[in-house]
Structure 1
């Protein structure tokens, strides 16, 4: 993470100190040493922080491995079927779901519907204000090792924590093993609008070139977008819903879902088999939002 000004560096310093309390290692890098780590960074940056414990996964590959493990454990997969109803008994407890093609009986239903988690919760008669937060990523032509780390501008921290629905962009630049550089990150709440936004991709390109001037003359091959599952307090909904016995939630992780998926699955599994979860789930209760958040 890099800061353009001393004020931004101080904000990163406070952020790193807070993370240290839960075991995250962060090494402060003065401005004059930044190019030892990233030779093509812009000059004049105030400093940054290196996170040596940080790691990356390829989301599609990680999901494929999780799916394979689930199948080995006995899971059955039905694809391309929208859930049309969550079935409840006379006592208000979950009895299963109905899809476009079949009825599935179950004493527990886990809402892992991502950005559509609020819609699935509504089928069970409960309020969960999951909203889509759109983001774009640019993909450049293949390049040599111009960018060696995943580099975040300091503004990214504030943008992630913001509750604003307006467009926010902050440079995130990442090299890939295949050569292309990935450029983000944008956030805006515009529903499920899939339209390519010239304003957004232009701002992302300009911010990336300001951070890495060498990128100014590079071709962008394509851009793609996705919808992060956003909850108003930036915490996911995890665990049993006290309003509907048998309903569990695993959604609202915003941009961190693929990294937090294994831990989320572990915590819900522990609840399902009657064990005390390793992490207290009170901050993640799905009933923490008043009904007016639906707006």
Structure 2
């Protein structure tokens, strides 16, 4: 790629970067997307495609998720729901004991007050939602707004729909600034891109990109595994997960944590998660983690005990110390914008992130309060 220019350079061609490119071009801006690997080659390509409100307590991230669900519906209509495998299947959260059920019911009350659609499900009603569920569960809650998408398809099709120029296998090596410290160009190993605005959508490498601009952004990797079964008859109707999943998302422990998550795909395979551990960028496959994932799935769906797995894969969630994403303009570097740190919610929150960034790029007042996601919020903790 020889020297080029654009109104905006988006660094990262995952789901978040694709959404930023799409909404920026819709706002009339010229966009170049730069990606060190391939489209959806990072966290996006290693995820389940979750679009969830169920796993978020009332607060700023839930507000983002509610808006993003609306935007996903619009994107589904535009891209074609079947083409991106967007399934409004709903999510079923289940509990193993009466105390756990009481805790889930209390969370549901708070979520309803925040506008989430939640249906309490008694133990004897679970089979109506999932006929193959274990019979000794204490109950659950059903979230009709939860959805699932095929993230690689969605990212690729959204990038194509954006009309942005995409440069894959391209590494950003520097960010040039003018005497007033404003961004003026992106330096890559394939040439220079003149631009007044850079969007950092580099996923787990977002902290590295921020360093090129001389600022600190504590976005770190959190490893997770997924098991994939052989194609099976339709056994799982919804996204089903144990209530402990919500707690594990917000924990700060570096140790391996497992909470069963089971859902089907249009191809008939079943995806089994979820694990979390902080091991840096260690990409080693962990047999103990995979065994625990399988055991957790069988605990929820005993019928899976005889199913074969055909593969396992792993990825790295980009997390921040307070488990909130980083979305907004960086006041420390004029012209630098961040859209990263979503941990396991990047697919679900991608549209609202891209829409918000596009608004900032064009000088519009945000329609959501972005202050909880400000890039500078970590400076006090240095």
Cα distance in 2 for partners of 1:290, 1:164 equals 22
What residue in structure 1 maps to residue 197 of structure 2? Answer: 108
Instruction: Report how far residue 22 of structure 1 moved.
Output: 2.6
Number of matched pairs:
290
- What SS is found at the alignment partner of 2:196? coil
- What SS is found at the alignment partner of 1:216? helix
Instruction: Report how far residue 224 of structure 1 moved.
Output: 0.3
- What SS is found at the alignment partner of 1:160? helix
1:188 corresponds, among 262, 273, 277, to 277
| 2:157 is the counterpart of 1:68 | no
Query: For structure 2, which runs of at least 5 residues remain unmatched after alignment?
Result: 1-92
* RMSD (CA atoms): 1.1
1:78 corresponds, among 164, 167, 179, to 167
What residue in structure 1 maps to residue 295 of structure 2? Answer: 206
Query: For structure 1, which runs of at least 5 residues remain unmatched after alignment?
Result: none
Could you tell me whether the CA contact under 8 Å between 1:130 and 1:252 is conserved in 2?
A: yes
Superposed CA deviations along residues 246-275 of structure 1, whole A, max 9, x for unmatched, are 100000111111221111111111111111
1:217 corresponds, among 269, 291, 306, to 306
| 2:114 is the counterpart of 1:11 | no
- What SS is found at the alignment partner of 1:183? strand
Relative to the length of structure 1, the TM-score reads 0.96
Cα distance in 2 for partners of 1:14, 1:95 equals 51
Instruction: Report how far residue 291 of structure 1 moved.
Output: 6.8
Cα distance in 2 for partners of 1:207, 1:194 equals 22
Cα distance in 2 for partners of 1:161, 1:6 equals 22
Superposed CA deviations along residues 223-254 of structure 1, whole A, max 9, x for unmatched, are 00011110111111001001111100000111
The 4+ residue runs of structure 1 with deviation greater than 3 A are 290-293
| 2:115 is the counterpart of 1:26 | no
Pairing of 1:1-295 with structure 2 (within 5 A): 1-71=93-163, 75-290=164-379
Structure number with the bigger relative contact order (C-alpha 8 A, sep ≥ 6) is 2
Could you tell me whether the CA contact under 8 Å between 1:127 and 1:291 is conserved in 2?
A: no
Superposed CA deviations along residues 47-73 of structure 1, whole A, max 9, x for unmatched, are 0001112221110111122101211xx
Superposed CA deviations along residues 175-196 of structure 1, whole A, max 9, x for unmatched, are 1111111100000111111111
- What SS is found at the alignment partner of 1:171? strand
Cα distance in 2 for partners of 1:107, 1:165 equals 39
Superposed CA deviations along residues 184-228 of structure 1, whole A, max 9, x for unmatched, are 000011111111100100110111111111111211111000111
Cα distance in 2 for partners of 1:266, 1:178 equals 31
Could you tell me whether the CA contact under 8 Å between 1:3 and 1:154 is conserved in 2?
A: yes
Relative to the length of structure 2, the TM-score reads 0.74
Could you tell me whether the CA contact under 8 Å between 1:161 and 1:234 is conserved in 2?
A: yes
Cα distance in 2 for partners of 1:259, 1:157 equals 15
